[in-house]
Amino acid sequence: MGIFFDFINANETLKYVDEHSEKEYSIHDLDLVEFEDPNKELVFAYLDNSIQAIRWFWSIVKSKHVVVLLSENLDEKLKSTLEVNYLPKYIIDYKRDTILNYEQSKQMGCFVKKMHNSVVINENIKLLLSTSGTTGSPKFVKLSETNILTNALDISQYLNIQNTDVVPLNLPIYYSYGLSILTSNAVIGNRVVCSNTDILNRLFWENLDRFKYSSLAGVPMVYEMLDRIGFRKKKYPSLRYITQAGGKLSNELILKFADYSFENNLNFYVMYGATEATARMSYLEPSQIKNKLGSIGKPLKSGTFSINQENGELQYCGPNVFGGYVESPTDLDSFDQSNCLNTGDIAQVDQDGFYFITGRIKRIVKLFGLRINLDEIEHYLSNELHSSIKCIGIDDKKIGVFYCDVDLNNSKINEILIGIFKLHISTIVINRIDKYPVTLNGKTDYNELSRIIK
Amino acid sequence: MTNTDKLETAFSEALMIEKSLIIDDLTYQSIPEWDSISHMVLISELESMFDISLDTEDVIDMSSVLKAKEILNKYDILF
């Protein structure tokens, strides 16, 4: 047992609630699964937010093993590519009955690898999170128990989480923001409602009344949905605060929800983070939300921001910064403790110390709060279609895809983006052009491609 | 196009599924294709297809194909 689990174990008031049966479980009632291995191993956990999933999560956290959190809805082809690549000793996946080279352990309730071979895993690694939730990329972020614990404590402090709070897990736990809801409430909170019911379900709103939710969390898309379903027309006496992260919410919606929260005595937190920082890096104090409209606020208690003078890039330093990426099993033997992260975002700071994001250096697009690496998509499409494909992001709303090959067509590209990457067709814009524009130094001119779309 | 054709087209485009799968019993989140994101697309497809503006309550109440028809009835769209 490590430092993080000890902390969770010590919060004796915490109960995990099954949203369907309404049964409550303490960490001891969850009857955690015991692992008996001499060495540290990888555990692939394809989990949703059910009570069973939470039981698995804490079981692996308690063990000496590394929990690799993944979406249970990943395409099977992507799942098996990842598994062949990393050969985890254990796989937890309720969506499959059999897995090649694995056998079902009836006693444990998961898949166990038949072969005996082990990888060297650095003692600091506790959790691997995917850099993007849906693309099944083999690239993971290495996180330690210290990373998770310090971030959870910082978050619980600024959100002022109380030992009477009831929180629904209304974002997936394989997503760093969703996981942070679980961890920050587990250190101090009172009830965590394990739920797969989203806000477009009437049951969610009935549960809000029944369990008296203290808070809600959402990526920008969730706030757009809340706006559309008339959230602001009603009152929710149990709600104390709402949080937003996972990309920039439009100023128009920030103002709408800020007004609502002032009128209803709610705290509305606009926040900023990255999986590489476990989850959170900064938040905007609710009282400043209109004064400093669009700001990502100030860094967490344990963190600091600085801006690179040369390119304007925002750098964050703190104990929650990850230990590097894993792209193949050989990367598991190290854990870099430099504690500083180049965010890839370009920022400015005002005279009062509030930070504002003004641009982005990295080629990523955030669709529905999930980060999509455009270079990865390009690479995958080009490989599968045997032809050079280029991708751009369009205002964090859509992905633009370009091809030149006359033998290709839109439907082949759509098939992959929808079938494998689970993108919605309404977020894909495909163009065929005669040849790709290039910059003076011979690289693809992505700015020019963006202009073609507009 | 009949109203049933329009409804099926809106569903099949928003959920990216075959029209043959669109039966009254099909419910929200019963298939991976009908998630929160495609639900929001569905709402705007229905609004533009029938040239209506759906009430906020209807967005959540539209939890099955049958429910969608019942709700559209309120807007004088009959099946």
Q: Cβ(A144)–Cβ(A335) under 8 Å? A: yes
- pLDDT attached to residue A59: 97
A and B: number of Cβ contacts within 8 A: 47
- pLDDT attached to residue A132: 66
Could you tell me which CATH number the domain at A3-358 has?
3.40.50.12780
- pLDDT attached to residue A364: 83
Low-confidence ranges of chain A (pLDDT < 50): none
B40 at interface of A, judged by CB pairs closer than 8 A = yes
Residues 6 or more apart from A435 whose CB is under 8 A from it? A404
* Residue A295 DSSP class: -
Facing residue for B16 by CB, picked from A202, A221, A418: A418
State the residue range of the domain holding B34.
3-74
B18 at interface of A, judged by CB pairs closer than 8 A = no
Kindly report, residue by residue over A329-347, the tens digit of the pLDDT.
Answer: 999 999 999 999 999 999 9
Q: Cβ(B68)–Cβ(B77) under 8 Å? A: no
B30 at interface of A, judged by CB pairs closer than 8 A = no
Count how many domains chain B has. 1
- pLDDT attached to residue A444: 85
B47 at interface of A, judged by CB pairs closer than 8 A = no
Nearest-CA distance from A75 to chain B in Å? 11
CB contact under 8 Å between B16 and A424, yes or no, is yes
Which residue does chain B place closest to A202, by CA atoms? B60
Kindly report, residue by residue over B15-48, the tens digit of the pLDDT.
Answer: 999 999 999 999 999 998 899 989 999 999 999 9
- pLDDT attached to residue A134: 58
Cβ-Cβ contacts under 8 Å, B14 against chain A: 426
Residues 6 or more apart from A374 whose CB is under 8 A from it? A363, A364, A365, A391, A392, A393, A399
CB contact under 8 Å between B38 and A424, yes or no, is yes
Q: What are A336's two structure tokens?
A: 């870099």
- pLDDT attached to residue A1: 66
CB contact under 8 Å between B56 and A229, yes or no, is yes
- pLDDT attached to residue A421: 83
Q: Cβ(B28)–Cβ(A201) under 8 Å? A: yes
Which residue does chain B place closest to A367, by CA atoms? B37
**Domain assignment present for B35:** yes
**Domain assignment present for B60:** yes
**Domain assignment present for B48:** yes
A interface test, pick of B11, B13, B58, B60 with most A CB neighbours within 10 Å: B60
CA-based diameter of chain A, in Å? 65
- pLDDT attached to residue A12: 87
- pLDDT attached to residue A395: 82
d(CA A16, CA A24): 6
Residue A338: left (phi > 0), alpha (psi -120 to 50), or beta?
alpha
CB contact under 8 Å between A202 and B63, yes or no, is yes
d(CA A362, CA A400): 16
CB contact under 8 Å between B56 and A233, yes or no, is yes
First CA to last CA across chain A, in angstroms?
Answer: 54
The domain limits of chain A are: 3-358, 364-453
Does the pLDDT of residue B73 top 60, yes or no? yes
- pLDDT attached to residue A369: 72
**Domain assignment present for B64:** yes
Q: What are A78's two structure tokens?
A: 């992507």
Cβ-Cβ contacts under 8 Å, A224 against chain B: 40
**Superfamily covering domain A364-453:** ANL, C-terminal domain (3.30.300.30)
- pLDDT attached to residue A252: 95
Q: Cβ(A303)–Cβ(A281) under 8 Å? A: yes
The full DSSP string for A13-39 is T-EEEETTT--EE-TTTT-PPP---SS
**Domain assignment present for B79:** no
**Domain assignment present for B23:** yes
Cβ-Cβ contacts under 8 Å, B41 against chain A: 424, 426
Cβ-Cβ contacts under 8 Å, A368 against chain B: 37
CB contact under 8 Å between A202 and B29, yes or no, is no
Instruction: Give the three-class secondary structure for A149.
Output: helix
Instruction: Give the three-class secondary structure for A294.
Output: coil
Provide the CATH number for the domain around residue B14.
1.10.1200.10
- pLDDT attached to residue A49: 97
